[in-house]
Amino acid sequence: MINEVPASNKVVAITFDDGPNPIYTPQVLEIFSEASGKATFFMIGEQMGKFPEVVKKVAAQGHEIGNHTYTHPYLSQLTQEECLEEIERNESLVEELVGRTPVVFRSPYLDYNHETLSLLERKSYPMIGALNLEAQDWEQPGVDHILAKTRDCVRNGSILLFHDGYGDRSQTIEAVRILVAELSSQGYQFVTVSSLLNGQI
């Protein structure tokens, strides 16, 4: 699992899971537009089917859409055939909506086993993790907690994880707004996970 990519430049990849969401995803887009940065959105197929216009808006603004499966299951509990279907249904929908397939993958709950890994290898997907898992923004632990546990993880090439889908994400939005402003003032640039992996920074 890739949690960071060594980089000589001040770059970070900020990622969002479980969207798209019609309330919170557009707020994330606004934050990154103001910072002239890009983010990676690991989207769930079921959510993309509900909010296709949000998906198209994310892609149109130059952000990356990553594969986060179709229904957000625990992949280690599925057969290899079921896993493959989860991944490929997501791919097909992204291609249908924005004209290209995802090239990065994050497993729901960061759950996987040996079979999952061999399947991803066959599909040429890097498995993307993150450094700031202690921030636990999905638990709504408070803006200060999210920020404190994330600041500790910021360095060149960090991959950071937040959520723009499922439930009330207002704490996440507020924390990301503050974090992006702070990191911008420190000279950091915000890039997609693919850019980080390909050294296009």
Which residue among the candidates 111, 163, 164, 168 is catalytic per the annotation? 163
Active site residue: 17, 18, 137, 164, which one? Answer: 17
Cis peptide before 20 (omega within 30 of 0): yes
Q: In 41-165, which ranges are continuous DSSP H helix?
A: 45-50, 52-60, 80-98, 114-122, 143-151
Q: How far apart are CA 107 and CA 113, in angstroms?
A: 10
164 is catalytic: no
Return the H-helix or E-strand segment holding 100.
none
Whether 68 is catalytic is no
Q: Active-site residues: which are they?
A: 17, 163
